[in-house]
Amino acid sequence: MQSFLEKWAEAAYITTGLFWMALWAFALGYLVSSMIQVFVTQERMQKLMGKDNLKSISLGTFFGFISSSCSFAALATTKSLFKKGSGFISSMAFLLASTNLVVELGIIIALFLSWQFVVGEYIGGVLLILISWGFIKLTKPQKLIEKVRNRLGSASGEHQHKTSWKKEIKTREGWAKVGMQYHMEWDMVWKDVSVGFTIAGIIAAFVPASFFETLFIGTGQSSQADLSFLQILQHTVIGPVAAFFTFIGSMGNIPLAALLFENGVSFAGVMAFIFSDLVVFPVLRIHARYYGWRMSLYILLMLFTALVGTTLLLHYGLLSFDLLPERKGGGISQMQYFQIDYGFFLNIVFLALSAYVIYLSRSTKMSGHHGHEMPDKGWLETILRYAAWISYLWLAVGLFLRFIL
């Protein structure tokens, strides 16, 4: 019993330490994302994405990059763009870019993993789009696409944002909208982040390395270069399966990805886990609600094919240049989290900025501001909310135990 309580206290300490370490990165990423969401509107993006040619797909990728958001918000925005006339491939490029080619995700990956994973995230995001493009061209789902367009109907009469961003960025109301959007960004991810970081702490404290060696074949070997192709392929398939059972967004999954790598999972397996936020069951259900089950399963097959192909290319590309990341030892359970260093001062600065923009949003009268269109997640939203509150109770008791033990 004493051992269990000590591990509980350790798990709670690791979770809070990981979040404190990443707090400034979350705040920076969501401030940047909120500014883009307010000053670069969806209507301006859609005008340039109406065809499935190289220009439209490139612009869809770029607009996805600057419109970074959580998976569920990206699904809703992608549906809206497609409904308003964007090409199907351009819309998929937007979806993949807005969930993978994002500033805040790259910062969090750099904090918990290494530069190779950051490079893999951004190059992999582009590869996901290119492979998906090729998959769509080969399978030619034009009839299915037309059926989905008819299902969605017309987008006429929807709100059109006409204020110039150059004027809006100079106004109090413009920055108040940024504050409102910033609050919405956190409102979309707080449950995923809370549960994800809590699970990471629990796994770090309670789960032995032997579990990962059983789940991911070959993880007991000293070097990734010793793994066979079939073992690497198994890692790329099991990574999404592991992500499926967490069903949380990529931001919450990064500490878990760090744990996987710390316990011997290959670079390909970890990247597959990170890229898996769009192939989990809740996303499948939301796609089915928007487009019907046939299109939902088609998108799932497309994304899973792109995911496996991308992670294999990244792994063997880095291996060919002898650049695969090596585990440093120690791991996240041995980190010193609460120190007076650059992270401490960055946290203070971005907490102050966060408070200021939220204050502006609460104290400024605004004309209608349209943020992310969120799908009705139903049971998933309820489960995550309760799981987040249970996580807070777990952490509170664990930190109390750490204080008294």
CA distances from 229 to 217, 226, 311, 398, 405 (A): 11, 10, 12, 42, 47
Q: How far apart are CA 63 and CA 164, in angstroms?
A: 17
- Smallest CA-to-CA distance from 250 within 130, 103, 372, 129 is with 103
Q: What is the pTM assigned to this prediction?
A: 0.75
How many domains are contained in the chain?
A: 1
Q: Are 61 and 101 in contact (CB under 8 A)?
A: yes
159 falls within a domain: no
CB 396, CB 16: distance < 8 Å: no
Question: Does 99 reside within a domain?
Answer: yes
Considering the domain boundaries, does residue 343 fall inside one? Answer: yes
Per the CB < 8 A criterion, the answer to whether 233 and 42 are in contact is no
Q: What is the pLDDT of residue 332?
A: 60
Q: According to the model, what pLDDT value does residue 119 have?
A: 95
Q: In this structure, are residues 301 and 267 in contact, taking their beta carbons and an 8 Å threshold?
A: no
Domain membership of residue 79 (yes or no) is yes
Judge whether 173 lies within some domain: yes
Quick check: 39 and 217 in contact, CB under 8 A? no
245 within a domain of the structure (yes/no): yes
373: DSSP letter: P
Q: Is residue 27 part of a domain?
A: yes
Question: Splitting the chain (405 residues) into consecutive groups of 10 residues, what average pLDDT does each group show?
Answer: 86 88 79 74 65 84 75 73 83 90 85 92 96 95 90 57 69 88 81 82 83 82 80 92 66 79 90 88 78 92 95 95 80 69 88 93 70 57 87 96 87
Instruction: Output the pLDDT for position 368.
Output: 54
Q: Is residue 273 part of a domain?
A: yes
Contacts 24+ apart (CB under 8 A), 148-154: 148/82, 148/291, 148/292, 148/295, 149/82, 149/83, 151/291, 151/292, 152/79, 152/82, 152/83, 152/290, 152/291, 153/83
Q: Which domain holds residue 355?
A: 2-150+166-367+374-404
Structure confidence at residue 342 (pLDDT)? 80
